[in-house]
Amino acid sequence: EPEVTQTPSHQVTQMGQEVILRCVPISNHLYFYWYRQILGQKVEFLVSFYNNEISEKSEIFDDQFSVERPDGSNFTLKIRSTKLEDSAMYFCASRGLADIQYFGAGTRLSVL
Amino acid sequence: GQSLEQPSEVTAVEGAIVQINCTYQTSGFYGLSWYQQHDGGAPTFLSYNALDGLEETGRFSSFLSRSDSYGYLLLQELQMKDSASYFCAVRDGRGSTLGRLYFGRGTQLTVWP
For residue range B48-61, list pLDDT tens digits in order: 999 999 999 899 99
Q: How far is A99 from chain B (nearest CA, A)?
A: 8
* Rg (chain A; Cα; Å): 13
Please give the pLDDT value at position B98.
66
Strand pairing category for A10-13 and A107-111: parallel
Chain A residue with the nearest C-alpha to that of B89? A43
Q: Could you say which of B33, B43, B48 has the minimum Cβ distance to residue A91?
A: B43
Query: Which one of A26, A58, A103 makes the best mutation probe of the B interface by having the most chain B beta carbons within 10 Å?
Result: A103
pLDDT of B96 > 60? The answer is no
pLDDT of B28 > 90? The answer is no
Is there a contact between B61 and B15 (Cβ–Cβ < 8 Å)? no
Please give the pLDDT value at position B92.
75
CB-CB neighbors (< 8 A) of B33 in chain A: 100-101
> Which residues lie below 8 Å from residue B102, measured CB to CB, with a gap of 6+?
A45, B2, B4, B26, B89, B90, B92
CB-CB neighbors (< 8 A) of B45 in chain A: 100-103
pLDDT of B14 > 90? The answer is yes
* Rg (chain B; Cα; Å): 14
pLDDT of B16 > 60? The answer is yes
Does B105 sit within 8 Å of A45, measured CB to CB?
Answer: no
Chain A and chain B share a number of CB contacts under 8 A equal to 64
Does B98 sit within 8 Å of A56, measured CB to CB?
Answer: yes
Q: Nearest 10 degrees: CA dihedral of B67, B73, B77, B83?
A: -160
Q: What rounded mean pLDDT belongs to chain B?
A: 91
Please give the pLDDT value at position A72.
77
In chain B, positions 87-106, which contact chain A (CB-CB < 8 Å)?
Answer: 87, 89, 91, 95-96, 98-106
Residue of B62, B56, B6 lying closest to B33 (CA atoms): B62
**pLDDT cut 90: percent of chain A above it:** 79
pLDDT of B93 > 80? The answer is no
Q: B94 pLDDT band (50/70/90 cuts)?
A: low
Please give the pLDDT value at position B8.
95
Please give the pLDDT value at position B51.
93
Identify the three-state secondary structure at position B6: coil
The b-or-e profile of A1-30 (16+ CB within 10 A means b, else e) is eeebebeeeebebeeeeebebbbbbbeebe
Identify the three-state secondary structure at position B5: strand
Q: How far apart are the first and last CA of chain A?
A: 36
Chain B residue with the nearest C-alpha to that of A91? B42
Residue of B28, B43, B13 lying closest to A44 (CA atoms): B43
Please give the pLDDT value at position A74.
92
The answer to which of A49-53, B30-34, B93-97 has the lowest mean pLDDT is: B93-97
Hey, which bits of chain B come out as E strands? 3-5, 9-13, 18-25, 29-37, 44-49, 53-57, 60-65, 70-75, 84-92, 101-103, 107-112
pLDDT beneath 50, residues of chain A? none
Q: Could you say which of B44, B45, B103 has the minimum Cβ distance to residue A43?
A: B103
Is there a contact between A103 and A43 (Cβ–Cβ < 8 Å)? no
Q: Is A52 exposed, middle or buried (0-12, 13-18, 19+ CB in 10 A)?
A: exposed
Q: B30 pLDDT band (50/70/90 cuts)?
A: confident
Q: Is B65 exposed, middle or buried (0-12, 13-18, 19+ CB in 10 A)?
A: middle
DSSP assignment string, A31-52: EEEEEEE-TTS-EEEEEEEETT
| Over residues B56-70, mean pLDDT | 95
Q: How far is A81 from chain B (nearest CA, A)?
A: 25
- Is B48 part of the contact surface with chain A (CB cutoff 8 Å)? yes
Q: B97 pLDDT band (50/70/90 cuts)?
A: low
pLDDT of B5 > 90? The answer is yes
Does B87 sit within 8 Å of A100, measured CB to CB?
Answer: no
